[in-house]
Structure 1
């Protein structure tokens, strides 16, 4: 009796008509957009778009010579750039809600053992992305900007453009956020059977080389930022191998047993 009820629970929601899925998808998207809009409205009131830009620019400002500031080479840049930062911050602030809506949409079509796999991956990937962004902002930016300014001739007055700085920040945030997703990629590849744990361990040396190549391509041409990206990637690769073994052991599908065997 219990086996029958478990199977019915696993298959619950998998036979919804196509239109019902579209309606639910629309509702989930609306909720996600509303969440982003609410966070954007709150951030617009406090601390405000200008203050958000000041926070984002703080690591660069602290490394510039005294009295140096950022400049705007376009007439509308002082308006558009803080607005873009506001939208970026709103999306990141509402990201847990957005991911929850995505999870709530796909969860009814998953088996119980698949839910045990997907939900932890959604939560952990979100946390790791935020950790990567925070690591980039609080540690990497300060060290990189100090290193770059130490090579600047005294005859040069540093006055970075705000749009160029925003583009640089977004690239770095995305690079470090995705780099910190290495354990998730390793876990998924191992859990789906594309690679074995033994192959992941044997690939360790190649991944170290690959990590430094990626860091050299993505980050600025300085040793500090390249090491700051490559070293965490190598460490997180080891974390991914360890986590993959745990996930494989705890997210296996239940054995298929017939009524006669039971």
Structure 2
């Protein structure tokens, strides 16, 4: 299946660009559908992998409606297929917009796409291997001192997916800061000046993105502030001296 890239230098009607966009969208949708089938077929492996952060004494999950297991498997398979297909999605986005960019803009965009993917993966890995085990252990063990815990499969898998995605997107902070600096929206002088507000803002973002418990909020707010400081340092290399 070949998709022809339209060159922006050519004088062509907008319809050709729309046809290219449609073809790329259909191709990506077909790949996502394929990986959805693969994830659904191997859902048992995926399920065990997502349940691994659970403390061993809470390994048994329950369901309260007949449709909950099936729709949970569908939701998890869909998220898994999108995650697996993300490099291909970024590839087609890049090749659609690249012909309309200058050489310098192409290099900058390619760098942001590459580092954006890397930070996205780092955020998800950080959440899965550190935040989820610590957060779940604290929440479940603390509550089990007084009550008998019953965690439904729908709640648990939604909780895991949302938390991993929250960390993955939160790790894009340095890239957003570099972009704002590059386009003159803000400069590094102001970033350093408003450090204390950024520190408070990290806790505000953590409170919105994570469940209402102190442990997971601290585990997100801490790295988020470190990423802010990292973003300030990196932004100095991309900042226009005139904007300082």
- State TM-score, norm by structure 1: 0.82
Deviation at 1:217, TM superposition (A): 3.3
Runs (5+) with no aligned partner, structure 2: 1-6
Summarize the alignment of residues 151-162 of structure 1 with structure 2, pairs less than 5 Å apart: 151-162=142-153
Q: Which residue of 2 aligns with 1:102?
A: 93
Q: Which residue of 1 aligns with 2:25?
A: 29
Summarize the alignment of residues 40-79 of structure 1 with structure 2, pairs less than 5 Å apart: 40-45=36-41, 48-60=42-54, 62-65=55-58, 69-79=60-70
Q: Which residue of 2 aligns with 1:259?
A: none
Deviation at 1:114, TM superposition (A): 1.3
Map Cα deviations across residues 48-81 of structure 1 (whole Å, 9 max, x no partner). 1132122112212x3535xx51111111111111
Q: Which residue of 2 aligns with 1:235?
A: 226
Runs (5+) with no aligned partner, structure 1: 1-11, 250-262
Summarize the alignment of residues 174-213 of structure 1 with structure 2, pairs less than 5 Å apart: 174-213=165-204
Change (3 A) 1:232 1:58: same
Deviation at 1:153, TM superposition (A): 4.0
| Greater radius of gyration (CA) | 1
Q: Distance in 2 between matches of 1:50 and 1:34?
A: 23
Verify the 8 A CA contact 1:215 1:226 in the aligned structure 2: yes
Verify the 8 A CA contact 2:178 2:235 in the aligned structure 1: yes
Q: Distance in 2 between matches of 1:235 and 1:57?
A: 29
Q: Distance in 2 between matches of 1:160 and 1:39?
A: 28
- State TM-score, norm by structure 2: 0.88
For these two proteins, the number of residue pairs brought into alignment is 233
Q: Distance in 2 between matches of 1:162 and 1:170?
A: 12
Change (3 A) 1:92 1:111: same
Q: Once superposed, what is the RMSD of the aligned Cα atoms?
A: 1.8
Q: Which residue of 2 aligns with 1:20?
A: 16
